[in-house]
Amino acid sequence: MSLAPIGDADIYYEVDGVGAPLILITGMGGLASYWAPQVEAFAKHFRVYRFDHRGTGRSTHSDVAYSIELLASDTIGLMSALDIPSAHFVGHSTGGMMLQVISSQHPDMVASQVLYGTRGRTDAFSRRAMGLRKEAALHIGVESYVRSSPIFLYPSAWVHEHDAELAQAERQAVASSAPAKIIASRLDAVLRHDQMHALGKIVAPTLVTCARDDFLTPPYYSEELAAAIPNASLEFVSKGGHACSITNAGEFNDRVLTFLRQQSSIA
């Protein structure tokens, strides 16, 4: 098991492939395993790093006030521990929020970035959706929070077709979960997120993408991000919900790799 010390926490990470460094930053679930459908394809062209966020999986379950800035700082700490001065990035949802902080405040660390299924600010819809998830964790329990997550992440037909697989994954997630108050604190971090004022500072080549049927971060968030980031490209995956990198991995991988390989060849 690979753990990188970053001061007050240890961060679990995995590495695959050779080439220019590519860091994959997961969403609210926080687990490196989220990117399993990408590793084989991406590792043919990049040295792929993925990690469990602080407060999830095999990383330290710190009982602290979480923020997007703290999680972004953890990512920078991991890069320092692994001697990665700069990298290409893909950030999903919460990971995309972390990446907005990194690319606006530390431009030399970001060779290029893909902001996937994410948003630049909290609005009325995200307050309702993420607030409901927080209430489930705190007032019903971790198991209910985990069991409700597929409703937000996946198309309904995909949930129906993968019910047994999801049930097994849910049992594993509950068994390894942090306490509800840590989940709630991490949800508070995304509820406070607002980087719209800083997006104009981003200089890294940027692709903004999500699935056209993404429920949790619907396409208007991606349109807003792409309009605010200088020279950003906007492309939509045809379908697949919030986690289209799992449910429609072939199309997602093709779109993202085309962009990343172009940026890598330019660099």
Angle (nearest 5°) at CA 178 between 174 and 180: 90
The C-alpha atoms of residue 21 and residue 26 are separated, in whole angstroms, by 16
The answer to pTM > 0.85 is yes
Reported as a single tens digit per residue, the pLDDT across 76-134 is 999 999 999 999 999 999 999 999 999 999 999 999 999 999 999 999 999 999 999 99
20: helix, strand or coil:
strand
Reported as a single tens digit per residue, the pLDDT across 139-171 is 999 999 999 999 999 999 999 999 999 999 999
Q: Which CATH superfamily is domain 3-120+193-266 in?
A: Alpha/Beta hydrolase fold, catalytic domain (3.40.50.1820)
Angle (nearest 5°) at CA 97 between 232 and 244: 75
